[in-house]
């Protein structure tokens, strides 16, 4: 885990950069801007760029930037991402997250998630309280690696905090903190599992990929293993494979015991290595009065060509 606190002069530099982006590329349209984001991110403060270089080369599992700029006149928290999209809420904060994200990876999106938006809003939505989507609230968002169902899932999920008045925690489990028995690791490393799409991808045009493919849950270099798991949607590929089913349950016990809680404050952004961290969120009571918890989210991939191959085009939106 690594943290960098942005200093006042650096915050001003970021604010000036956001002004310049909104002037030059406005009205704000992340789909238009995203192809320029990496070049513009070269004008972020040097310490931030160096921080992300280290995060990448050291494979830092959890990285937090604190003290990012926030608008004085931030809108009330929208009641769901669709409302946020309609009114363009938090455009400056979106720009900040897109620029910081572009200093670490390449932003991309999913056609069936939040209308293919590059930057998502994570805020409670009426009717979604108990769903397995980021609009949930009273039900916990259960532990997952982001978009575990897809080969082209992100290397990092970035979440920036605009509001979190009740100190609701993002739950994180770092694979380095898991001490799995060798027998369990062995089963989890075998291609005995299906990673099914989660509820946020099952719409009328939702994805089905990943459902048929068999893969492991645990893989990668020894001593620093990678994980692919969504405890709601990863299942044994064979119905009769009791050992695989029990291995998922046993992993859940180990993962639950290793849970840590990160409470994001306004102006914080967290960058979770999606191969080395499983994450989720605590439950909370939504108020729908404009003061609810509100995050922005962006998916980052190290090599954008993986997305181009998945989309068979130069599009950053996987359909
Ligand atoms: O709300 C949070 O803290 C985490 C949400 C989450 O898992 C996500 O948006 O992918
Ligand atoms: Fe997530």
Atom of ligand 1 nearest to the CA of 297: 9
**What are the two backbone dihedrals, phi and then psi, of residue 48, each rounded to the nearest 5 degrees?**
-70, -40
CA 255 – ligand 1 centroid, Å: 17
The whole-number pLDDT of residue 202 equals 61
Give Cβ neighbours of residue 128 (< 8 Å, ≥ 6 apart): 80, 135, 136, 137
Dihedral Cα 15, 167, 118, 279, nearest 10 deg: 130
CA 280 – ligand 2 centroid, Å: 6
Ligand 1 proximity of 295 Cβ (cutoff 6 Å): yes
The whole-number pLDDT of residue 197 equals 86
CA 144 – ligand 2 centroid, Å: 7
Q: Which domains does the chain have, with CATH numbers?
A: 2-174+260-318 (3.60.130.10)
Nearest CA to ligand 1 atom 3: 170
Question: For a substitution probing ligand 1, which of 114, 147, 198, 295 has the most ligand atoms within 8 Å of its CB?
Answer: 295
pLDDT less than 50: residues of the chain: 204-205, 210
The whole-number pLDDT of residue 204 equals 43
pLDDT tens sequence across 147-169: 999 999 999 999 999 999 999 99
Ligand nearest the Cα of residue 269 is 1
Ligand 1 proximity of 44 Cβ (cutoff 6 Å): no
């Amino acid at each position: 885990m690594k943290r960098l606190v942005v200093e006042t002069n650096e915050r001003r530099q970021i604010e000036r950069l956001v002004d310049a982006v909104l002037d030059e590329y406005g009205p704000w349209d992340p789909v238009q801007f995203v192809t320029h984001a990496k070049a513009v991110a070269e004008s972020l403060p040097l310490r931030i760029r160096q921080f992300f270089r280290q995060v990448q080369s050291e494979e830092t599992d959890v990285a937090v930037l604190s003290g990012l700029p926030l608008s004085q006149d931030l809108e009330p928290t929208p009641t769901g991402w669709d409302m946020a999209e309609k009114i363009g809420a938090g455009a400056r904060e979106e720009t900040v997250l897109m620029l910081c994200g572009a200093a670490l990876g390449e932003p991309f999106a999913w056609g069936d998630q939040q209308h293919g938006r590059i930057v998502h809003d994570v805020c409670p939505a009426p009717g979604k309280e108990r769903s397995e989507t980021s609009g949930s609230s009273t039900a916990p968002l259960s532990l997952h690696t982001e978009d575990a169902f897809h080969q082209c899932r992100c290397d990092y999920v970035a979440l920036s905090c605009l509001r979190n008045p009740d100190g609701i925690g993002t739950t994180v489990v770092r694979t380095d903190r898991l001490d799995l028995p060798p027998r369990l690791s062995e089963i989890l490393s075998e291609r005995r599992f299906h990673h099914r799409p989660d509820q946020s991808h099952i719409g009328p045009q939702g994805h089905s990929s990943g459902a048929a493919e068999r893969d492991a849950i645990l893989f990668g270099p020894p001593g620093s293993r990678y994980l692919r798991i969504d405890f709601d949607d990863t299942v044994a590929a064979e119905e009769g494979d009791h050992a695989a089913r029990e291995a998922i349950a046993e992993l859940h016990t180990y993962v639950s015991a290793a849970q840590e809680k990160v409470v994001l404050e306004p102006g914080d952004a967290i960058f979770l290595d999606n191969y080395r961290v499983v994450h989720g969120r605590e439950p909370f009571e939504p108020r729908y009065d404009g003061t609810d918890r509100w995050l922005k989210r962006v998916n980052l991939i190290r090599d954008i060509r993986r997305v181009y191959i998945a989309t068979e085009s130069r599009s950053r939106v996987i359909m």
